[in-house]
Amino acid sequence: MLDTEPDLSTRLFSPIDFTRGAIAAVSGGSDSTALLLLLKQHLDRTASSAKLLAVTIDHGLRQGSAAEAQAVAKLCAERGIAHRTLTWSGRKPSTGLPAAAREARYHLLAEAARAEGIGLIVTGHTADDQAETVLMRHARGRELADIAGRGLAGMAPATLYDWREWIVRPLLEMRRSALRDFLRHEHVGWADDPTNIDEAFERPRVRAALAGESAGHMENALRLAGQAAVERRQLGASAADLIHRFASQPCTGLVRLDPAMLTADDGRAPAYALRILLATAGGGAFLPDQARSEALLGRLKAGFLCATLSRTVVDFRRTGLFLRREARGLPPAATAVDNTIWDGRRHITLNDRSGALLIAPLGVTAARRLAIDDGKTPASLMRAAMAAEPTLRQALEKPGSPQGGPGSLAFAARPVVSPFSRFLPSFDLAPARAVAELIGASPLPASPLGGHSAD
């Protein structure tokens, strides 16, 4: 029988800082319902003033989902917990539905968190979910080498969403069966989502396969995840060290690497650091292909070259190894929208909202007029990098305008760490922080996991 004394909730939640409250994602299933009740126990005992809001996302994908949301609302009312149901509206995709639903779910949860001034979202992912995730990625890893490496770490204990809200998973070491024992002890029921057994989708197929295996099979998957997580953090720390030691930014949009970085570590760290910097310079949401990146690293070790990978120009000269956004595929002139990401690389904030602003790349012609010279970096490289930066269309049409350069007074364009700007697993905090410091991105918000700066 599961230990239902306060020690359980203390063990699960004591490492988490609830000073600013928490959003609990509650679907009505066993895992999230147990999460909610255990969290309420913990907060009542240790932080009674902390705000707790349960949020149920109704995806509108099947009959019965609205009734399940109502059942959660009823349970919350009985337990004195604030509750809100949010609906995923609009057209649903015909393919990739689980991924789209996941994205919509986190978007709605983050909106609720921002509306309440809460920076923490808590979810009920369990050890069972972790094992399924690892086995799914292991299967894909037969074709995708990077997933077979970094991805085998599974879900992180915490993930930063949109560089703002932390998503924390305190139940990753809890088995679903134990949580159901707890609910039975509390005389609380739960809903069973029929899509969880619909083998038209990948996760239910893996879940069914796991159910037919011995307990050792799941334990092996969890052991694999734990080992991969340690290796991923170590790799990230090594890559961060290389970035701190060998990377600089001569001007906005241009990264210089000391060629010594290429041979400073005989392990995987140089290739990993290069992949992160390539994605960041090019505005890529994902790291470039591992095999192609390692091949590029080998060519760079052999001597000077100019190549393009992941929308990034890699220009190796006597003065250093330079990375910048290539000129192809830049966004066309478009109306600026506040609080959006431009070209995957710049967070746009409008300072002048008196009228529609058109933002476009500065371009080569306008970049040639910029007075750029740091005495160490070829001016041609700096101008090529600045040509890919956003500016006002008005400035391009009226070169004498006082708003004529990137970063005009009418708007701010702050760099973002592209591959980690949407989802940043806590495994990757060290390299994300190193790149953020390098390019001048917003600082990372403090982790809610006490004493875990990069864990």
**The pLDDT value given to residue 192:** 86
**Running DSSP on this structure, what letter comes out for residue 423?**
E
- The pTM is what? 0.89
Classify 40 as helix, strand or coil: helix
Classify 328 as helix, strand or coil: coil
280-304 pLDDT, tens digit per residue, is 999 999 999 999 999 999 999 999 9
CA-angle at 54, arms to 51 and 58, nearest 5°:
150
Supply 25's token pair: 């994602």
**The pLDDT value given to residue 2:** 45
**Positions in the chain short of pLDDT 70:** 1-6, 139-149, 194-204, 206-215, 353-355, 394-408, 451-455
Sign of CA dihedral 437, 438, 442, 446: negative
Classify 359 as helix, strand or coil: strand
Residue 175 CB neighbour total at 10 angstroms: 17
Question: Which residues 6+ apart lie within 8 Å of 326 measured at CB?
Answer: 282, 308, 311, 312, 313, 388
* Cα-trace Rg, the chain: 24
Of the candidates 157, 122, 128, the residue with the CA atom closest to the CA atom of residue 230: 157
Please check whether residue 175 is in contact with residue 129, taking contact to mean a CB–CB distance below 8 angstroms. no
Residue spans of the domains in the chain: they are: 6-124+170-213, 242-326+422-439, 334-415
Please check whether residue 285 is in contact with residue 419, taking contact to mean a CB–CB distance below 8 angstroms. yes
**The pLDDT value given to residue 19:** 92
CA-angle at 160, arms to 157 and 162, nearest 5°:
155
Break the chain down into helix, strand, coil percent, rounded to 5.
45, 20, 35
DSSP for 73-100?
A: HHHHHHHT-EEEEEE--SPPPSS-HHHH
End-to-end Cα spacing for the chain = 31
d(CA 79, CA 256): 57
**The pLDDT value given to residue 219:** 86
- Topology of domain 6-124+170-213, CATH: Rossmann fold (3.40.50)
**Running DSSP on this structure, what letter comes out for residue 350?**
E
Q: What are phi and psi of 287, to 5 degrees?
A: -65, 145
Sign of CA dihedral 155, 160, 161, 166: positive
d(CA 313, CA 291): 18
**The pLDDT value given to residue 62:** 77
